[in-house]
Structure 1
């Protein structure tokens, strides 16, 4: 059946109605049961079109969903749609940030990052199947549970699935100008710990050695290392239990980002060199998960980007492409050298905040973009 995928009847209102249950199923990364409930909803929607597998979670995280769509070339390298269903918003955020539409925008936890894009990709497949249009290559969808904390439990699963495929489409939210991502910076995470000596803060203050005081000094030292080549930030701190006790333990987490692997390696070395002991307080640093640099200008990725640009022009907008800070699971597939196009998802603002929202019109726009990509990739 020769039909233009850009003329398929994508409907913003219908898409929003289908997306709503996904948004109202809160799924913060660290709540495995909540993430699994979200995976159930996605599995139900995908099972109407594809062979669906539920892959159990590990390391305390939720599970994944993999859907393989029927195709004469099933099993041959095809197109992988890669998305995460975890969000940064704790359960209960809906009370402060309910699903609500105000004219051209719609609010909700995780609607931009990245349930909106995942839903647009799912709808793209639904529209193609309904119209009887067969993609040149087989399509697989993989939704994972732990991207927001650096993908500690599913990196191998993602890499194994990507290795079986020819192309990877990642419906992470679009860049501010609606653009796509063709490369991403490297990211390293660090776990920080200071161990002090407790004492009564009133009667025996001088006998104690404060873990919090050293962590505070180290935090300033770490953030002062930020430069053009490599950034450093401390995003989590927990310390102390009693105000009348000199703190014996303080823990934190830090993140570092660089445009090249060499700059990241240098940054990691500078970070690790901060460990040691000061004034009877020990400062320990251990490496957390890392995202490798996904270098831009890969020929396969650039060819995909050119195709996406042509489709966007037919849809009436100019699609830009650039390297981006902020990691995604596209880092892994891009670093493997598999042509990857990221940030094909919805337009919006306020991701990771209590104003997170999308432009409703971007749901059909991105659905059409991804449907056309799947029809043209060979």
Structure 2
């Protein structure tokens, strides 16, 4: 049966609802803030008739929310997988990125990555329920709190839940051309610590060995290893408490991304074997969270073909691509479960103070999502 696409999605109504989510700030490292956002989404799902449960967080991160929608079948169903944490600290709304509307653009922390896509996916489920249109399979929504730092506390839950489903839909942001994601590059994170020798920076500077200086050398060397096959970057550094003390320790976090797993594996080996630049300082590198490469297979391409056919009926093209910037789709795609990612809103400038979405893309993308829920 052909999917019904003439559902009454309204861009303005959806934006008004999304605003309440955007204005509930939820940075990853603030578990209480993330849990406030989880509670808001859980109530939204409960009002739709979903059976909602909260799964307690661990490792200092927030909780997860899992919602199961009523269905007559018990077959393996559709997992809608999304995260509600953002990279924007509490206070970003007041200082730098308030929710605002400028023409067809709406701005706010996390509005593109990925509260907008999550909201439209849930709205798609709601509109189907109101219209009395059944989804093709049972639907579960899994909302997680730590995707922006690699999902260290939730990967096991994501993989266990995905294994009970036949299809995974991920409403991460659409590609700039409006396309979707059918594969993701591999990503590895690393924790670095340099150790020096303390001294009084004013009275006995020459007796010290600065951990900060050594880390600066390492950062330059690491980032200069970037090639077309594999990138290296350092995004976090912490060191020092007093300017008049030569720093004993300096900690940093690095990230490497590659299109092929073998290139990432080589990068991991290089990073774990890095040495300090001198004998009077030391360097320790440990491996952090890793996202496996997700390469599209025939099942993924068949899933994209269904989405493309729905998009054509709605009047727009739906190209696909493999993409950097990992998501939890890396995990499910690498498991061999048909996964379609990038189903969220069209926008730009994620992770910046110019993060925004295109308001007019909301209803068409929600119709696409609703069509997939009826078809896959």
SS at the partner of 1:278?
coil
> Aligned ranges for residues 10-89 of structure 1 at < 5 Å?
10-49=9-48, 50-74=50-74, 76-89=75-88
Runs of 4+ residues deviating >6 angstroms? none
Q: Alpha-carbon deviations, 1:141-182, whole Å to 9, x = none?
A: 001000000000000110011000000000000011011000
Task: Return the alpha-carbon distance in structure 2 between the equivalents of residues 295 and 274 of structure 1.
Answer: 29
Task: Return the alpha-carbon distance in structure 2 between the equivalents of residues 197 and 344 of structure 1.
Answer: 51
Contact 2:212/2:239 (8 A) holds in 1: yes
Contact 1:173/1:344 (8 A) holds in 2: yes
Please report how far the alpha carbon of residue 364 of structure 1 lies from its aligned counterpart in structure 2 after TM superposition: 0.8
Contact 2:214/2:277 (8 A) holds in 1: no
SS at the partner of 2:152?
coil
State the match for 2:123 in structure 1: 123
State the match for 1:315 in structure 2: 314
SS at the partner of 1:153?
coil
SS at the partner of 2:218?
helix
Contact 1:3/1:133 (8 A) holds in 2: no
- Which range moved further: 151-160 or 309-318? 309-318
Task: Return the alpha-carbon distance in structure 1 between the equivalents of residues 275 and 187 of structure 2.
Answer: 20
Q: Which runs of 5+ in 2 are unaligned?
A: none
State the match for 2:348 in structure 1: 349
Task: Return the alpha-carbon distance in structure 1 between the equivalents of residues 93 and 17 of structure 2.
Answer: 17
Task: Return the alpha-carbon distance in structure 2 between the equivalents of residues 355 and 277 of structure 1.
Answer: 39
Contact 1:105/1:358 (8 A) holds in 2: yes
- Which range moved further: 267-276 or 344-353? 267-276
SS at the partner of 2:5?
helix
Task: Return the alpha-carbon distance in structure 2 between the equivalents of residues 336 and 107 of structure 1.
Answer: 35
Task: Return the alpha-carbon distance in structure 2 between the equivalents of residues 234 and 5 of structure 1.
Answer: 47
Q: Alpha-carbon deviations, 1:8-33, whole Å to 9, x = none?
A: 00011111111111000000000000
TM-score normalised by the chain length of structure 2: 0.98
TM-score normalised by the chain length of structure 1: 0.97
Contact 1:110/1:351 (8 A) holds in 2: yes
State the match for 2:270 in structure 1: 270
Task: Return the alpha-carbon distance in structure 2 between the equivalents of residues 86 and 159 of structure 1.
Answer: 19
Please report how far the alpha carbon of residue 276 of structure 1 lies from its aligned counterpart in structure 2 after TM superposition: 4.5
Contact 1:188/1:290 (8 A) holds in 2: yes
Q: Which runs of 5+ in 1 are unaligned?
A: none
Please report how far the alpha carbon of residue 361 of structure 1 lies from its aligned counterpart in structure 2 after TM superposition: 1.2
Please report how far the alpha carbon of residue 136 of structure 1 lies from its aligned counterpart in structure 2 after TM superposition: 1.8
Q: Alpha-carbon deviations, 1:107-164, whole Å to 9, x = none?
A: 1100000000000000000110000001121110001000000000000110011000
Task: Return the alpha-carbon distance in structure 2 between the equivalents of residues 338 and 264 of structure 1.
Answer: 22
Please report how far the alpha carbon of residue 5 of structure 1 lies from its aligned counterpart in structure 2 after TM superposition: 2.8
State the match for 2:365 in structure 1: 366
Instruction: Report how many aligned residue pairs link the two structures.
Output: 374
Contact 2:3/2:375 (8 A) holds in 1: no
State the match for 2:243 in structure 1: 243
Please report how far the alpha carbon of residue 279 of structure 1 lies from its aligned counterpart in structure 2 after TM superposition: 3.4
- Which range moved further: 249-258 or 275-284? 275-284
State the match for 1:113 in structure 2: 113
SS at the partner of 1:41?
helix
Q: Alpha-carbon deviations, 1:262-311, whole Å to 9, x = none?
A: 11010111111113472311111010000000012x11110010111111
Please report how far the alpha carbon of residue 69 of structure 1 lies from its aligned counterpart in structure 2 after TM superposition: 0.5
State the match for 1:135 in structure 2: 135
SS at the partner of 2:165?
coil
Task: Give yes or no for the alignment of 1:279 onto 2:284.
Answer: no
Contact 1:27/1:38 (8 A) holds in 2: yes
Task: Return the alpha-carbon distance in structure 1 between the equivalents of residues 300 and 32 of structure 2.
Answer: 36
- Which range moved further: 102-111 or 237-246? 237-246
SS at the partner of 2:310?
helix
Task: Return the alpha-carbon distance in structure 2 between the equivalents of residues 32 and 282 of structure 1.
Answer: 34
SS at the partner of 1:120?
helix
Q: Alpha-carbon deviations, 1:190-241, whole Å to 9, x = none?
A: 0010011001112211111110111011111101111121110011111122
Task: Return the alpha-carbon distance in structure 2 between the equivalents of residues 3 and 10 of structure 1.
Answer: 19
